[in-house]
């Protein structure tokens, strides 16, 4: 191999390693940012009859990648780097991003909160969500918020056991009775108004009040 060919080959190898390092760093940045918002959403998840700042939960729910996407993505990047014999630094960076993704996944397993739906009614914002514990049981919460939907008072109203269910509850506005209703599979389970009411209309769950 001539000196020119050797120089060109070494230059190509350097460019490839730089590109692999960029991939590793980008994966790490995505994972760290997502982990940060997942952690904020986790620690700010609604407490019963308490005030919750709901915007990080909304922000994370709509704009960031969930853990079930980041976990396989980080593993694919690590496998790709190993196959391409990338620098050890690239692999270490990707391992860190994988760790962040797995930590995000742990939030969803251990008492994680999931946002389901939002509704605006009578100049107020309502958020519906559920807290899933490690046993797979779900406690559903309705949050009544200010007109921007940020500062909310939340209340857990319904428990559903671990079972196969179709879909999620829905928030509906009842302009006649001036209430916000929660329906599950077409059945009314909660009516929020001046006098809130809960209904045991679902076979695998019951009211918490």
- 89/124 same-domain check: no
Which of these, 145, 110, 142, lies nearest to 125 by C-alpha position?
145
Q: What is the count of structural domains for the chain?
A: 2
- 74/136 same-domain check: no
Record the pTM: 0.72
- 130/99 same-domain check: no
Domain range enclosing 30:
3-109
**pLDDT score at 173:** 95
**pLDDT score at 127:** 94
- 28/101 same-domain check: yes
Of 53, 77, 109, which one is at a domain's C-terminal end? Answer: 109
The list of the chain residues with pLDDT below 70 reads: 1-21, 23-24, 64-68, 70-71, 78, 80-91, 93-94, 97-98, 100-111, 134, 162-166, 202, 209
**pLDDT score at 26:** 73
pLDDT digits (tens, 9 = 90+) for 131-162: 877 677 788 999 999 888 788 999 999 988 76
| Distances from the Cα of 159 to the Cα of 64, 65, 66, 152, angstroms | 28, 28, 24, 21
- The structure tokens 């700042």 sit at 53
Of 57, 89, 109, which one is at a domain's C-terminal end? Answer: 109
- 70/48 same-domain check: yes
Residue 163 structure tokens: 């079972």
- 104/123 same-domain check: no
**pLDDT score at 20:** 64
116-125 b/e with 16+ CB inside 10 Å = b? Answer: bebbebeeeb
- 129/175 same-domain check: yes
**pLDDT score at 144:** 93
Counting other chains too, the contacts that 88-93 makes at CB distance below 8 Å and 24 or more residues apart are 89/21, 89/24, 90/17, 90/20, 90/21, 90/23, 90/24, 91/24, 93/21, 93/24, 93/25, 93/27, 93/28
Q: Which residues pair with 159 in a beta bridge?
A: 139, 206
- 94/125 same-domain check: no
- 123/93 same-domain check: no
**pLDDT score at 81:** 67
**pLDDT score at 8:** 43
């Amino acid at each position: 191999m001539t000196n020119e060919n050797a120089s060109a080959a070494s230059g190509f190898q350097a460019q490839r390693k730089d590109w692999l390092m960029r991939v590793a760093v980008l994966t790490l940045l995505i994972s760290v940012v997502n982990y940060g918002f997942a952690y904020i959403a986790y620690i700010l998840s609604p407490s019963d009859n308490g005030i919750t700042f709901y915007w990080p939960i909304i922000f994370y729910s709509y704009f960031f990648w969930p853990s079930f996407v980041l976990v396989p993505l980080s593993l694919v990047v690590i496998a790709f780097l190993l196959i391409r014999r990338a620098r050890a630094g690239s692999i270490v960076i990707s391992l860190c991003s994988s760790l962040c993704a797995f930590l995000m996944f742990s939030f969803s397993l251990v008492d994680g909160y999931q946002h389901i739906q939002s509704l605006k009614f009578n100049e107020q914002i309502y958020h519906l969500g559920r807290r899933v514990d490690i046993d797979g049981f779900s406690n559903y919460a309705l949050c009544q918020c200010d007109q921007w939907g940020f500062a909310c008072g939340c209340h857990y109203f319904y428990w559903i056991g671990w079972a196969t269910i179709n879909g999620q509850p829905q928030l509906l506005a009842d302009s006649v009775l001036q209430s916000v209703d929660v329906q599950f599979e077409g059945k009314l389970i909660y009516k929020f108004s001046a006098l809130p009411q809960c209904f045991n209309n679902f076979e695998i769950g019951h009211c918490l009040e």
